[in-house]
A and B are shown apart, each in its own frame.
Chain A
Amino acid sequence: MAKLYSKKPKSDFKLNPKDETISFILNYSKALSVINYKSMKFESLQN
C-alpha cells in the first residue's frame, strides 16, 4: 500500500563515459593556453 505512489527517480542510470573521452578532455586541457594581451584573450592549442 505504501509503495503505490512512490516516485521513480528521474534517472537511475549509473553510466560512465569512455576512457578515450576522458583522455581527450585532459589532453585538450593540457594543450589549451589562454594568453591575455591588453583587454583581449587569445586561445592557442599546442601540438
Chain B
Amino acid sequence: MIMQKELISDAQLVSNYIRGEESALEVLITRHKQRIYSFIYSKVFDRDISEDIFQDTFIKVIRTLKRGKYNEEGKFLPWVMRIAHNLVIDHFRKNSRMPKFDNSGDFNIFSVISDNALNAEKTIIKGQVEADVRRLIDELPEDQKEVLVMRMYKDMSFKEISERTGVSINTALGRMRYALINMRKVIEKHNIVLTN
C-alpha cells in the first residue's frame, strides 16, 4: 500500500483529490510537508508562526483546488512553495509595520528590520513569472508576437515598429492590442496565476 502511494505522481494525486478523493490530499501533504515546513521555518525562525503559515498555505491550496482554479502543469510543489513564500512575505510586511514585543517585555529591534534574504527569493519568483510570460508570448500569431516583443522588450516606439515591419502605425497598434487581448484570453482560459 505504501509503495503504491509512492508510485502515484503529484499530478495524479491532485486530479484524484479534485474528483473527491480526500485521502489523496493526505498523501500529498505527507510527501511534501517537510520541504514546505522547513522552508517556512528557515525564513521566520519561529515554530508557532511556521505552523500558522503552513496551515494557511494549505487552506489556500485546498480552496483553489476545490474551486477548480488550478492549472496542472506537473508543478504542484513549486506552486505550493510559491504560496508559502508569499505568505511569509505577508507575515514580514505585517510585522514591520507594528513592532513586535517578545514575552520578556523588551522591545526587539530585529523584529522591525526586514529580512534581506527575501530579495533572493523575490528574484527567483520574478524570473519564473517572466519565463511564464515569455511562454505565453510564444503562443501568439507571428505578427502580434513581433509587435509585442518590439514594444515591450526592445522599447521601440510604434513609429519605429511600423517602419521596421512595413505596416502603418494603426496596424501596428491594432496588432499590439490583439496581442494583449489574446494573452488575457489564454491566461483566463487556463486559470494561469502570474502575479503574487
Cβ-defined contact, B51 with A21, below 8 A: yes
* B-side interface residues, number (CB < 8 Å): 23
Cβ-defined contact, B62 with A10, below 8 A: no
Cβ-defined contact, A29 with B22, below 8 A: yes
Query: Is A22 engaged at the interface, CB distance under 8 Å to the other chain?
Result: yes
23 CB contacts below 8 A, A to B, read A11-B38, A11-B39, A15-B34, A15-B47, A16-B34, A16-B37, A17-B33, A17-B50, A17-B51, A17-B55, A22-B29, A22-B33, A25-B29, A25-B59, A26-B29, A28-B62, A29-B22, A29-B25, A30-B22, A32-B63, A32-B66, A34-B68, A43-B66
Contacts of A32 in B (CB 8 A): 62-63, 66
Contacts of B55 in A (CB 8 A): 17, 21, 24-25
CB distance from A4 to the nearest CB of B (A): 22
Contacting residue for B67 out of A24, A28, A34, CB 8 A = A34
Main secondary structure of the interface of B (DSSP, over half): helix
Query: Is B158 engaged at the interface, CB distance under 8 Å to the other chain?
Result: no
Query: Is B41 engaged at the interface, CB distance under 8 Å to the other chain?
Result: yes
Question: What residues of chain A have their CB less than 8 Å away from a CB belonging to chain B?
Answer: 10-11, 13-18, 21-22, 24-26, 28-30, 32-34, 41, 43
Question: What residues of chain B have their CB less than 8 Å away from a CB belonging to chain A?
Answer: 22, 25-26, 29, 33-34, 37-39, 41-42, 47, 50-51, 54-55, 58-59, 62-63, 66-68
- In the assembled complex, the Cα of A15 lies from the Cα of B55 at a distance in Å of 15
Contacts of B26 in A (CB 8 A): 22, 26
- In the assembled complex, the Cα of A17 lies from the Cα of B49 at a distance in Å of 11
Contacting residue for A10 out of B42, B47, B51, B67, CB 8 A = B42
Contacts of A11 in B (CB 8 A): 38-39, 41-42
Contacts of B67 in A (CB 8 A): 34, 41, 43
- In the assembled complex, the Cα of A16 lies from the Cα of B22 at a distance in Å of 21
Q: A29-B62, A30-B22, A43-B63 are in contact. Are A13 and B42 (CB under 8 A)?
A: yes
- Which A residue sits closest to B34, measured CB to CB? A16
Known: A28-B62, A34-B68. 8 other contacts (CB 8 A): A16-B37, A25-B25, A25-B62, A26-B26, A29-B22, A30-B22, A32-B63, A34-B67
Contacts of B66 in A (CB 8 A): 29, 32-34, 43
